[in-house]
Amino acid sequence: MSILARLKKNRGEAPPTNTPDCAHWELGPRWANAADIGNRSLITSYSCSTCGRSFTPAEVAQRAN
């Protein structure tokens, strides 16, 4: 968890999720423009199909480490 996320949590501003224990294994890529779909270098965000939370490509890359 990032420092920023921890601060948000301490302030009680973290967005509620239906599945707080979700491990976010099912991340689907999202594109800003329909024409970009399929181009992995243009992915704008990822969305967890289990809990619906979205992640930036940077966050997903961090999770892979």
Residues that bind Zn ion (CB under 5 A): 22, 24, 48, 50-51
Residue 55 Cβ vs Zn ion, minimum distance, rounded to whole Å: 9
Residue 20 Cβ vs Zn ion, minimum distance, rounded to whole Å: 9
Residue 22 Cβ vs Zn ion, minimum distance, rounded to whole Å: 3
* Pick 51 or 60: Cβ nearer Zn ion: 51
Return the number of other C-beta atoms located less than 10 Å from residue 54's C-beta: 13
Cβ-based neighbours of 58, under 8 Å, separated by 6 or more:
none
Query: Which DSSP helix (H) or strand (E) runs through 3?
Result: helix 3-10
